[in-house]
């Protein structure tokens, strides 16, 4: 990861394993490659310097997800929703001054367990759990239309609740 971030920060061309790792990371996060390049290039900065960026990414991916859903592209909508959830968790961590170098599910769970106030942990865990099912749908196309809609609505409701919690903590 460190080598990949260094190569991206220097603007070097990614080849071979680095290119494969980059594509895998893009897929794991649900983020566009351009956004991921910026993220990797900024890994060394103070987390508080990323607050506005994560807020913008959250809003971008949640809006894209809803638009794709309206267009009937459930797989892409699901992936953008996962990207929005990851960005929201990273936003919360940045507000708390917590550095997050990578995006594995276990890391997201650890951030929630260690940094989210006890009264909101279940909300964030439930959000990530619901969004994870949508993320899997992106790869597998495993949810029929009815099941997808149910999961989608549940995720949106949780996302709005979590967004309120996070946005209350944004610096003025």
Distance CA 12, CA 102 (A): 20
pLDDT number for residue 89: 96
Q: Do 57 and 76 share a domain, yes or no? A: yes
Q: Do 26 and 74 share a domain, yes or no? A: no
Residue 107 has pLDDT above 70, yes or no: yes
The two tokens of residue 158 are: 């949780």
Distance CA 5, CA 61 (A): 22
Q: Do 30 and 98 share a domain, yes or no? A: no
Least confident of 27-36, 104-113, 161-170: 27-36
Q: Do 62 and 34 share a domain, yes or no? A: no
Whether residue 172 is contained in a domain is answered as no
The boundaries of the domain holding residue 32 are 1-44
Q: Do 161 and 139 share a domain, yes or no? A: yes
Q: Do 106 and 162 share a domain, yes or no? A: yes
Q: Using only C-alpha atoms, what is the Rg of the chain? A: 16
């Amino acid at each position: 990861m460190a080598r990949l971030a260094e190569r991206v920060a220097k603007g070097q061309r990614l080849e071979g394993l680095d290119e494969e790792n980059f594509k895998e990371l893009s897929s794991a996060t649900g983020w566009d490659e351009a956004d991921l390049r910026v993220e990797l290039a900024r890994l060394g900065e103070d987390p508080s310097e990323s607050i506005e960026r994560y807020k913008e990414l959250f809003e971008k991916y949640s809006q894209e997800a809803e638009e794709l859903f309206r267009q009937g592209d459930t797989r892409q909508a699901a992936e953008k929703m996962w990207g929005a959830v990851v960005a929201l968790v990273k936003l919360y961590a940045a507000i708390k001054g917590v550095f997050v170098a990578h995006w594995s599910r276990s890391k997201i769970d650890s951030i929630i367990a260690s940094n989210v106030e006890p009264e909101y942990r279940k909300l964030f865990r439930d959000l990530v759990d619901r969004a994870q099912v949508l993320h899997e749908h992106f790869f597998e196309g495993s949810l029929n239309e009815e099941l997808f809609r149910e999961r989608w609505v549940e995720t949106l409701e949780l996302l709005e609740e979590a967004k309120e919690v996070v946005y209350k903590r944004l610096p003025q």
